[in-house]
Amino acid sequence: MTAAIAAGSALIVAAITNVAGWILAERRRQQELTLFRAQRTHNWNLARAERSFQRRADAYAEVLTLLNVSMDWVEGTEPFIGPIGEPPTLPDEDTIRRARALIDLFGSDRTRDAMTKLATSQHNFELAVRERNETRQRGRDPEDAERGSFRSVHDARQDCRALQKAVVEYMRLDLADR
């Protein structure tokens, strides 16, 4: 009987040891699984952030190229110091739409707002140039009209320059914020 009790006790101890071992192994497995999932999520987030950064950088590079062409047009149209040749042709509407889409998709709020202001400013510059040309064609009060229309073109150009600098600075900051 004592042998039976000893064997039964040994069996119970072995069973408890096995159950405790299984519980500890299961906890360890759950911890490893949780750690694995956290690491996988972290890696996915890093990869997503890298893709977003690269898309934004590519979008900004493309938009900045377009912006440089449009600013060359502003600088070359009705220049302050004599004619410097024909200004470049402005990009077509499809190219402008693509640039707007890129900024809408990948640009920061501040860059998007500055681009909108710059587009308005460039439109105002174009209107000032048209007004100056119409004033010349009408031929009324040439000196006063010329001075006033020159000032309008000059001010509109200055506004475009300032906004273009702001857009470029916001793009740089956005890419540096990474």
Task: Please check whether residue 92 lies inside any domain of the structure.
Answer: yes
Full residue range of the structural domain in which residue 63 is found: 52-177
Domain count, the chain: 1
Q: What rounded mean pLDDT belongs to the chain?
A: 87
Task: Please check whether residue 31 lies inside any domain of the structure.
Answer: no
Task: Please check whether residue 161 lies inside any domain of the structure.
Answer: yes
Q: Cα–Cα distance between 172 and 116 in angstroms, integer? A: 17
Confidence of residue 147 (pLDDT cuts 50, 70, 90): low
Q: Cα–Cα distance between 136 and 146 in angstroms, integer? A: 7
Confidence of residue 77 (pLDDT cuts 50, 70, 90): confident
Task: Please check whether residue 3 lies inside any domain of the structure.
Answer: no
Q: Cα–Cα distance between 12 and 18 in angstroms, integer? A: 10
pLDDT of residue 68: 94
Task: Please check whether residue 34 lies inside any domain of the structure.
Answer: no
Task: Please check whether residue 136 lies inside any domain of the structure.
Answer: yes
Task: Please check whether residue 103 lies inside any domain of the structure.
Answer: yes
pLDDT of residue 140: 60
pTM for the full model? 0.73
pLDDT one-digit tens code per residue, 23-69: 888 899 999 989 999 999 999 989 998 999 999 999 999 999 999 99
Whether 125 and 157 have beta carbons less than 8 Å apart is answered as: yes
Task: Please check whether residue 21 lies inside any domain of the structure.
Answer: no
Positive or negative: CA dihedral 90, 93, 94, 96: positive
